[in-house]
């Protein structure tokens, strides 16, 4: 079967990473979490004093430093981890502190250009599932399968709150909900590649679906698209 590109975009904490990862495993595709790349750049900025106390970013220094920031992924028995200049930062990039600075970093056009190029390189042989905010619109506008995932902000915050507390991270539901709302606002209103559904993306509102149901929905859609793709050759 000819490999295709699968773009899964959507709102923060909508469960898109879990479903994308699972589909990739089931069909033997590579999975790339583009959000982890923006998170890793944010962590680098935080560690290097480029986030001011008011939350604004020292953009010029960050842009000049981009050639020094290398992001990659490794897969082992613990699953997939994000590497920042060779260091495994998978746990650190998921904290609420990184979440609270990532959207302003991701709004910087030069940061986006650099990461989009890297993401396109990951997909140059197809056979990839990538999740994010602009995969179906900017990174792979010709992707054969595009999905846009959403759920109510409260549902998404509840899921993220559970995920963080399960990992032992100390936070409150209100803190998580306000981060979800704030990131949605910044992601939707930025000038460069704002979060929006591509015209040809299939919408999934998974507010009332279990993880199992949404994974099955995605697999069924993949099967339909792949059979159409094969028949059209
Ligand atoms: O927390 P969640 O899994 O929803 O978000 P993420 O996928 O880890 O992405 C973190 C942040 O990175 C988002 O809130 C966006 O600001 C940014 N992002 C982006 O701008 N473009 C992407 N393709 C992926 C993420």
State pTM to two decimals: 0.94
Q: Computed from CA positions of residues 179, 162, 94, 120, in that sequence, does the dihedral angle turn out positive or negative?
A: negative
Atom index in ligand 1 nearest the CA of residue 10 equals: 4
| Whether the CB of 114 sits within 6 Å of ligand 1 | no
Atom index in ligand 1 nearest the CA of residue 135 equals: 23
CATH 3.40.50.300, applies to 5-231? yes
Quote the pLDDT of residue 78. Answer: 79
Q: Tell how strand 128-132 and strand 5-10 pair up.
A: parallel
Of 25, 40, 1, 23, the C-alpha closest to 147 is 23
Of 129, 101, 130, the C-alpha closest to 115 is 130
Per-residue pLDDT of the chain in tens (233 residues, 90 and over written 9): 889 999 999 999 898 999 999 999 999 999 999 999 999 999 999 999 999 999 999 999 999 999 999 999 999 887 899 999 999 999 999 999 999 999 999 999 999 999 999 999 999 999 999 999 999 999 999 999 999 999 999 999 999 999 999 989 899 999 999 999 999 999 999 999 999 999 999 999 999 999 899 999 999 999 999 998 888 87
| Whether the CB of 179 sits within 6 Å of ligand 1 | no
Residue boundaries of the structural domains of the chain: 5-231
**How remote is the CA of residue 232 from the centroid of ligand 1, in Å?**
34
| Whether the CB of 103 sits within 6 Å of ligand 1 | yes
| Whether the CB of 112 sits within 6 Å of ligand 1 | no
Q: Tell how strand 128-132 and strand 87-88 pair up.
A: unpaired
Instruction: Specify the residue with its C-alpha closest to ligand 1, atom 10.
Output: 35
């Amino acid at each position: 079967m000819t490999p295709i590109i699968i773009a899964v975009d959507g709102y923060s904490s909508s469960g898109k990473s879990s479903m994308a990862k699972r589909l990739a495993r089931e069909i033997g595709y590579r999975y790339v979490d583009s959000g982890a790349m923006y998170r890793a750049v944010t962590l680098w900025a935080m560690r290097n004093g480029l986030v001011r106390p008011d939350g604004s970013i020292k953009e010029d220094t960050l842009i000049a430093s981009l050639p020094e920031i290398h992001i990659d992924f490794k897969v082992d028995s613990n699953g997939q981890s994000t590497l920042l200049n060779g260091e495994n930062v998978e746990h650190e990039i998921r904290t609420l502190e990184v979440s609270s600075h990532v959207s302003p970093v991701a709004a910087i056009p030069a940061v986006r250009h650099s990461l989009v190029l890297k993401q396109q390189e990951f997909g140059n042989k197809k056979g990839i599932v990538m999740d994010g905010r602009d995969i179906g619109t900017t990174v792979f506008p010709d992707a054969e399968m595009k999905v846009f995932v959403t759920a109510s902000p409260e549902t998404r915050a509840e899921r993220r709150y559970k995920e963080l507390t399960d990992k032992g991270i100390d936070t409150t539901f209100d803190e998580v909900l306000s981060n979800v709302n704030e990131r949605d606002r910044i992601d939707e209103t930025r000038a460069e590649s704002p979060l929006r559904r591509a015209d040809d993306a299939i919408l999934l509102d998974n507010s009332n679906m279990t993880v199992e149901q949404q994974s099955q929905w995605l697999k069924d859609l993949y099967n339909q698209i792949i059979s159409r793709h094969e028949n059209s050759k």
